Amino acid sequence: MWTDRLANRLSKFWRDRRQHRHGNAENHSEAIMVNGDRKLENHARSKDLTEERVTAFLNDNPEFLERYVMEELEIEQLERWIIRRTQRDKKRAGSAGRKTSLSRWKFCVHADKRQMLQDLTQSLQQRPSVVNVLSELASCISSAVSADGYRLYLPDNDDDNHLCLYLGYESNDCQRLGKALLPCLVAKTKEPMRLSKGDPNFPAKGSGDVAHLLLEPILQPDGQLVAVLEMWRLSSGPGPFHEEDEEIATSYIVWGGIALHYAKLYMSMSKQRKLSDFLLAVVKSIFQDMVSMDTLVTKIMNFAQRLVDADRASLFLLDSKNKELYARIFDVGGNESEVDSDSGNKSQPDKEIRFSVGKGIAGQVARTGEVLNIADAYSDPRFNRTVDQLTGYHTKTILCMPIFIRGVVIGVMQMVNKHNGPFNKEDEEAFETFAVYCGLALHHAKLYDKIRRSEQKYRVALEVLGYHNSCTETEVEKTKMALTNEKLGPLDDFHFNVFQLDDDSKVRQAVLMFRDLFGLARFDRDSLIRFILTVKKNYRRVPYHNWSHGFSVANSMYAIIKHSNGTFSSNECLALYVAALCHDLDHRGKNNKFMLETESPLAAVYSTSTMEHHHFNQTVTILQQHGHNIFSQLTNSEYKQVLGCVKHCILATDLARFFPYKSRLQQIVQNNTFSWGNPEHRSLIQAIAMTASDLSASAKPWELQARTAEVIFQEFYEQGDAERAAGITPIAMMDRNQPDQQAASQVGFLTGICVPCYGLLTELIPETKPLLDTCESNLERWK
């Protein structure tokens, strides 16, 4: 019990006092005092210690009471006593008079702070805004200092140098004060002020029965003014305000500042969440349905109206070439131009209007790139009243915002007449964020419009090219007539001389080879003729990679298929033959390395196997033309299988792919694990067969091989010339200034690529050995 501790402390107190006095005693009277102290100590130790004696002792020794309270009592116990004392004083009649004790405000704060925080918390839950928290805080402070009334003044949103009288959360209006009034002086000095009647600064008018004033500034931790609280007492009240009343108010403001801080955080987060939700809806609506620029502009204007609660909206785009602002959709809002925010439809689009940059408010914003927030349009000399005079509309307030992309103004958004007073800083901040998304949307809309126009141009160009790059019906009929008497030559001979056929004969022989391999039961004859004629037309007139080369490769593949004795399936043979015929479509006489080094558009589209991807896409383009699809009678699964195999075979003609294919297949053969039933193994042998056909000129008799080498080097030298013109040093094989390197380059080519290719093919398809033998014979001649 604390009473036992008190008795012990009393005993110790008297003992210490006795020792102190005994050490200094020099006369009889002091000895008598010591004896008296000993008696008092005995009384303190006795069980007869009464409340009266303790009370009398504590009254006579306040320093002992203070020391005891400071050292022995728990804070919780002391707070309980203070609360009980405060509550008792409140209930006691006649206690309305001023307490003169300096600790009065401490008792009050400790007693009422829990209730105050509960009230503030409840206020936050019901009306979570800074203004409402300030209102609750003002009410608590007014009650704590026994004020008869109070007023709360808030900084003007539009002018920090003015205050507005807060009229309650039910009212949206405010009364602006003059700078000379007391609340404005307190706001300026940020110091409390106490006044009574008779003070020269006490307001002479409008005070009525008010006799005493206390004004308190409410500040944020950073010193920014949040509000000014004015409290008063009537002449019939408890009297003037004193210093402890200021201390009470300050204490409440400190505690209430916590709630105020979190209210601001809550409001800030709430605004950001609402703005984020709004912007998300804007982005979804704008970017999901980017139909046209007019639709987008209408949507942006409609969303902007909702964001700042404006009556009308206008969006002007900048014509940088003519230094003009223009708009086709103008003044969305009111009853004249109702807009569906989802569809963006507008009842009647206005005619386009134009005016120069720098003219009017919108022109000024476009010129300077700065926001303009005008509270009174008619008092601004930049405002053009002509529009109002013509339309009968009265413009009051304007918020005009520039729209940027990459730091450059691309447009101006203008909001007119906010429904609830002038536009404020919050509107500016929200609108500024919204303007960023507007800029992105407008930029993407312009890009989308360009892409759409480019797509239309591409379709037109494709249609024109398709017409000029397709065979005519006259050519089809002429070929059909010639085929009636045409016979298939000895094209299954690996040494067949393709130079003995002209281009038209090659077309007919290609048709006959196709018919010999696959028949015409599943293929339309006219489509086949049309397809091969168009393939011929899409080979460019370059020295080597021309129609003659395409036919030669198809002829070699035909011979391999004929000698393979059913090694490949029917669909594989179809894919191999078509791929061989089309493998160099639209070849420009330049290799992939040249395309990459010169940054050709093709290299941008296809980063690997550039030309081979282009050859395949040209093949597909021809197949898609009317009357050219030779695969039309295949089933869906067969069509996908054949087209996939065609792509694989055409891409396999890239020598960069040959080396990994060869290494993989060679390893399988050496390990004796090759199986024709393994799809991967079949895919590898298809790739090797394509390379063997593509390089078949090296396996022709010497006369044909030498003639082919001549045109190959002609094409190489043309590429070397183009490289030199582009600032690239050509390799020796492509440098026409080094003709003595031809033999060496051919030896290296045959040794490193051709002989290994034909050797591997011979191991799996022995019937192709003539290709290997002739290639080795040519190698010896080149050496």
Instruction: State the pLDDT at residue 741.
Output: 86
Distance from C-alpha of 638 to C-alpha of 438, rounded to nearest angstrom: 50
Q: Looking at the DSSP assignment, which residues form a beta bridge with residue 219?
A: 225
Give the number of C-alpha atoms closer than 13 A to the C-alpha of residue 229, restricted to the C-beta side: 29
Q: Looking at the DSSP assignment, which residues form a beta bridge with residue 411?
A: 317, 403
What mean pLDDT comes out for the span 616-633? 94
Which of 417, 452, 487 is the last residue in one of the domains? 452
| 547 annotated ligand-binding residue | yes
Tokens representing residue 142 in the block: 């007014």
Q: Which residue has the higher pLDDT, 633 or 121?
A: 633
367 near 357, Cβ under 8 Å?
yes
- Range ranked top by mean pLDDT from 72-76, 155-159, 330-334, 612-616: 612-616
The answer to the question of residue 520 being in a domain is yes
Q: For the chain, how are helix, strand and coil distributed in percent, rounded to 5?
A: 60, 10, 30
pLDDT at 101 over 60: no
> Count of domains in the chain?
4
Least confident residue range of 278-282, 463-467, 604-608 = 278-282
Same domain, 301 and 208: no
What mean pLDDT comes out for the span 302-310? 82
- φ/ψ of residue 154, rounded to 5: -115, 150
| 626 annotated ligand-binding residue | no
The answer to the question of residue 82 being in a domain is no
Least confident residue range of 47-51, 52-56, 67-71, 187-191 = 47-51
Residue 348's pLDDT band (boundaries 50, 70, 90)?
A: very low
* Residue 167 CA, distance from chain mean position: 43
Same domain, 427 and 497: no
Give the chain's end-to-end CA distance (angstroms, integer). Answer: 119
202 near 214, Cβ under 8 Å?
no
Distance from C-alpha of 416 to C-alpha of 20, rounded to nearest angstrom: 88
Distance from C-alpha of 530 to C-alpha of 622, rounded to nearest angstrom: 10
| 583 annotated ligand-binding residue | yes
Q: Which residue has the higher pLDDT, 9 or 232?
A: 232
411 near 317, Cβ under 8 Å?
yes
Same domain, 17 and 134: no
354 near 324, Cβ under 8 Å?
yes
Same domain, 300 and 264: no
The answer to the question of residue 60 being in a domain is yes
Q: Which of 212, 242, 545, 615 is catalytic?
A: 545
Which phi-psi region, left, alpha or beta, contains residue 392 (left: φ > 0; alpha: ψ -120 to 50)?
Answer: left
- Classify strands 408-418 and 398-405 as parallel, antiparallel or unpaired: antiparallel
Of all helices (H) and strands (E), which one includes residue 152?
A: strand 149-155
| 22 annotated ligand-binding residue | no
Q: In what order do the strands lie in the sheet with 149-155?
A: 174-176, 163-166, 149-155, 225-234, 210-219, 193-196
Q: Is 110 one of the catalytic residues?
A: no
Instruction: State the pLDDT at residue 671.
Output: 94
Among 503, 517, 498, 514, smallest CA distance to 471 is for 503
Instruction: State the pLDDT at residue 297.
Output: 76
- Range ranked top by mean pLDDT from 102-116, 154-168, 664-678: 664-678
Instruction: State the pLDDT at residue 37.
Output: 47
Same domain, 305 and 407: yes
pLDDT at 307 over 50: yes
- φ/ψ of residue 404, rounded to 5: -110, 155
pLDDT at 670 over 50: yes
| 546 annotated ligand-binding residue | yes
Distance from C-alpha of 731 to C-alpha of 720, rounded to nearest angstrom: 8
Domain range enclosing 343: 289-452
What's the whole-number average pLDDT of the chain?
82
SS (H, E, C) 642-656: HHHHHHHHHHCCCHH
Which of 452, 487, 510 is the last residue in one of the domains? 452
Cα dihedral: 666, 668, 673, 676 (round 10)? -80
Instruction: State the pLDDT at residue 125.
Output: 66
| 613 annotated ligand-binding residue | no
CATH number of the domain that residue 529 is part of = 1.10.1300.10
What's the maximum distance between 2 C-alpha atoms anywhere in the chain?
163
Same domain, 55 and 110: no
pLDDT at 609 over 60: yes
- Classify strands 149-155 and 225-234 as parallel, antiparallel or unpaired: antiparallel
Same domain, 490 and 417: no
Same domain, 258 and 315: no
Among 768, 757, 758, smallest CA distance to 565 is for 768
3-class SS of residue 729? coil
| 702 annotated ligand-binding residue | no
- Range ranked top by mean pLDDT from 57-61, 333-337, 448-452, 516-520: 516-520
Among 412, 449, 398, smallest CA distance to 318 is for 412
Distance from C-alpha of 218 to C-alpha of 138, rounded to nearest angstrom: 10
| 735 annotated ligand-binding residue | no
Instruction: State the pLDDT at residue 120.
Output: 61
- Range ranked top by mean pLDDT from 61-70, 83-92, 211-220, 552-561: 552-561
Residue 15's pLDDT band (boundaries 50, 70, 90)?
A: low
Instruction: State the pLDDT at residue 314.
Output: 83
CATH number of the domain that residue 338 is part of = 3.30.450.40
Among 576, 622, 319, 604, smallest CA distance to 469 is for 622
Residue 690's pLDDT band (boundaries 50, 70, 90)?
A: very high
- φ/ψ of residue 520, rounded to 5: -120, 15
The answer to the question of residue 90 being in a domain is no
Instruction: State the pLDDT at residue 96.
Output: 45
Residue 2's pLDDT band (boundaries 50, 70, 90)?
A: low
Global pTM value: 0.59
| 294 annotated ligand-binding residue | no
What is residue 676's DSSP assignment?
T
The answer to the question of residue 279 being in a domain is no
Quote the radius of gyration of the chain (alpha carbons, Å).
50
692-721 pLDDT, tens per residue?
A: 999 999 999 999 999 999 999 999 999 999
Residue 34's pLDDT band (boundaries 50, 70, 90)?
A: very low
Tokens representing residue 74 in the block: 């728990």
What mean pLDDT comes out for the span 713-742? 92
Same domain, 254 and 360: no
The answer to the question of residue 774 being in a domain is yes
478-528 pLDDT, tens per residue?
A: 999 999 989 999 999 999 999 999 999 999 999 999 999 999 999 999 999
3-class SS of residue 393? coil
- Classify strands 353-356 and 408-418 as parallel, antiparallel or unpaired: unpaired
Percent of the chain with pLDDT over 90: 41
Same domain, 713 and 601: yes
Residue-by-residue DSSP string for 143-176: HHTT-SEEEEEEE-SS-TT-EEEE--TT---EEE
Same domain, 484 and 419: no
Same domain, 723 and 764: yes
The answer to the question of residue 278 being in a domain is no
The answer to the question of residue 40 being in a domain is yes
- Range ranked top by mean pLDDT from 271-275, 342-346, 424-428, 763-767: 763-767
* Residue 273 CA, distance from chain mean position: 17
Which of 51, 73, 95 is the last residue in one of the domains? 73
